Structure 1
Amino acid sequence: MISFIIPAHDEARLIGATLVSIQAAADALGLAHECIVVDDASGDDTAAIARDLGARVVRVEYRHIAATRNAGARAARGQRLFFVDADTQVDVELVRAALRALDAGAVGGGCTVRLHGPLAWHERLAAAAAVAALRLARIAPGCFQFCTRAAFEATGGYDERWFAAEDIVMSRALARVCRFVLLRNAVHTSSRKLHTFSPREHGRLLWHFLRHGRAMLRSRDRLALWYEKRRH
């Protein structure tokens, strides 16, 4: 059993495509699997869409991404856990490569990222630089991370002291357990943060980080890009 865990808050616009992509990849590989959507305080049709597409829905009221991911892991029955963001689409080659890595002894890993939608040249440049920096630092972006249940439990799960960067903390924790891999395969994820938040707002986030350091990641107060009401 492979458990695909999808944290979601007000994701009615995108979660359908995410679940369809997971189902298509799992069916192509003949995998015994489950999809668990952790509906974190959604006020839209996220849960109904997920159920209609065959997912099991777990309702929580955390508004805290690390805690939401952990709730999905607790509900999961599989021994291999795939965490997929609700605005992210996988394909069969990515899932196959992740399973091969686990079969070869890796305890977990991630992949590279491609952004959906049209991007200006400077946005493409910034995205490419971010992806390169994450790979150089051996960090798997949170939109797609996978691991064995044993490794997940060995790390204690996603560190709930963090409201953002929990994917960075988990990548490093898994790497301390044993071999952690970054696949060359890519997921396609939404570029909406680039389109719905202005350069000024991105600059303000950077300024707060330079001023307060990692301490700002322990509260959602200055993390509007992740916790403000979803913009369209």
Structure 2
Amino acid sequence: MPAVSFVVPAKDEAAYLPDALASIRDQRTDREYEIVVVDGDSDDDTAAIARRYGAAVVDQRDPGIGAARHRGAQAADGEWLAFVDADTAVDPDYLDAMLAFVRENGLAAASSRCRMPGCLRATAMAATINHVFPRLGRPILPGFNCFVRRNAYADVGGFPNVPNEDTAFSRELARRYPTGYHPEALVETSPRRVERLGLTGTLVHYLRLDWRRLRDESPRT
């Protein structure tokens, strides 16, 4: 059994996926780990690229990013699951740093610092994730950078296939288990959504998704 399974959802990500997978492949660790890429019926070379980097490729069964993450978790064998997006690269010491951090602090899950290269809006978004998310009563662990113990993941039912699936998952997980943020481990993720929508537009986008999720979860009378 590998210590860690990296789960990477990807749909038409041929432009970004090589950097993400190279960063995972090149981890400086003696621990066993695996890469699982969940292919969302891509029209490009996503699946072929994944196999070229030694990843196991599984087909996404249901639409939605939550379903893709959960499908990857079901196919993975690791004691710990590291969810990383196809446009996110992790530092070479990410695996060992995150594993040591969660074990030393008795955590069931954690995220870490992120960097979004590019415009000032991207820097501001990264600052929000780095300085606001960890201070919430139930920290939000972004789906592009989420390190979680398998049995805790299973206990809360995994990522739900709803809008803002990572927020919903983080809140439910933190309701039952201790979670946190590694202050030094680092990932670099694409600022493409922020560049397209702007900082305000991106925050509004996620607030709308969260409102829809909460509305859908409200009991019907």
* TM-score normalised according to structure 2 size: 0.85
Counterparts of 1:168 and 1:90, CA distance in 2: 21
Counterparts of 1:200 and 1:183, CA distance in 2: 24
Picking from 211, 214, 217, the partner of 2:211 is 214
Picking from 11, 16, 19, the partner of 1:17 is 19
The AA in structure 2 aligned to 1:3 is S
Counterparts of 2:17 and 2:101, CA distance in 1: 27
**Contact 1:109–1:171 (8 Å) recurs in 2:** no
Aligned counterpart, 1:187: 187
The RMSD of aligned alpha carbons is 2.6
**Contact 1:81–1:146 (8 Å) recurs in 2:** yes
Percent same amino acid at aligned positions?
A: 34
Counterparts of 2:205 and 2:58, CA distance in 1: 36
How much does 1:95 deviate? 2.0
Alignment of 1:1-232 (within 5 A): 1=2, 2-25=4-27, 28-104=28-104, 105-116=106-117, 118-119=118-119, 121-137=120-136, 138-160=139-161, 162-163=162-163, 165-184=164-183, 185-195=185-195, 197-199=196-198, 202=201, 206=204, 209=207, 214-215=211-212
Counterparts of 1:217 and 1:63, CA distance in 2: 20
The AA in structure 2 aligned to 1:166 is E
Counterparts of 1:207 and 1:153, CA distance in 2: 28
Q: Deviations over 1:162-217 (max 9, x none)?
A: 13x2111222222223221211122100011123x2449927x828956x961268
Q: Which runs of 5 or more structure 2 residues have no equivalent in the other structure?
A: 217-221
How much does 1:66 deviate? 0.6
Query: Could you tell which deviates more after superposition, 170-179 or 1-10?
Result: 170-179
* TM-score normalised according to structure 1 size: 0.81
Runs of 4+ in 1 over 6 A off after TM superposition: 216-219
Counterparts of 1:43 and 1:166, CA distance in 2: 25
Q: Which runs of 5 or more structure 1 residues have no equivalent in the other structure?
A: 220-232
| Secondary structure of residue in 2 paired with 1:92 | coil
| Secondary structure of residue in 2 paired with 1:29 | coil
How much does 1:42 deviate? 1.2
The AA in structure 2 aligned to 1:20 is A
